[in-house]
Amino acid sequence: MKKVKMSCTTCPNSCELLATIEDDQVVAVEGNLCKRGVDFAESEWRCPVRTLTSTMILDTGAKAVLVPVRSAKPIPKAVMKDAMQAIQAKHLHHAVKMGESLIANVAGTGVDIVAAKTVRM
């Protein structure tokens, strides 16, 4: 049995959780002020996910502009490096609209990388 500290990010309380792990399963959670803390600890232990934010290069011809991008949904932390490599490898050559999908199914996650801002050329 081991104890793992986590900071819950599901609500404004930002509870400091202490999860008890036994046989690779969360068997108890302490420090949560709501049930979402228990769900967070179980999910965080099983497969931690995060929303990825970055920038992509938009080549306007005269100059390069950085376009803020993000994952449409959280993706597993284990594939963050692969997702960042896909973002860095792609250069845009057209104006983008906020919410537009720029990379579909990034790193095989089923999640798209989308523009976080409208950028005109």
63 in the Ramachandran plot: left (φ > 0), alpha (ψ -120 to 50) or beta?
beta
Task: Determine the residue type at 74.
Answer: P
Domain edges within the chain: 1-45, 51-113
Gap between the Cα atoms of 116 and 71, Å rounded: 9
Integer CA distances (angstroms), 47 to 5, 65, 102, 105, 106, in order: 16, 35, 25, 18, 17
Q: What is the tens place of the pLDDT at every residue in 7-40?
A: 999 899 999 999 999 999 999 999 999 989 999 9
Determine the pLDDT at residue 121. 77
Determine the pLDDT at residue 53. 97
Q: Global pTM?
A: 0.82
The dotted CATH code for 1-45 is 2.20.25
Determine the pLDDT at residue 111. 98
Gap between the Cα atoms of 51 and 74, Å rounded: 4
* Beta-carbon contacts of residue 1 (< 8 Å; ≥ 6 apart): 20, 21, 22, 27
Say if 1-45 and 51-113 have the same CATH topology: no
Is the pLDDT score of 6 beyond 90? yes
Q: What is the tens place of the pLDDT at every residue in 47-82?
A: 999 999 999 999 877 788 999 999 999 999 999 999
Q: If we measure between CA atoms, which residue out of 117, 2, 37, 121 comes closest to residue 69? A: 117
Residue ranges of alpha helices (H) inside the chain are 35-46, 80-89
| Assigned fold of 51-113 | CPE0013-like fold (3.10.530)
Determine the pLDDT at residue 64. 82
Q: If we measure between CA atoms, which residue out of 120, 91, 121, 88 comes closest to residue 107? A: 88
CB 112 within 8 A of CB 90: no
Determine the pLDDT at residue 17. 95
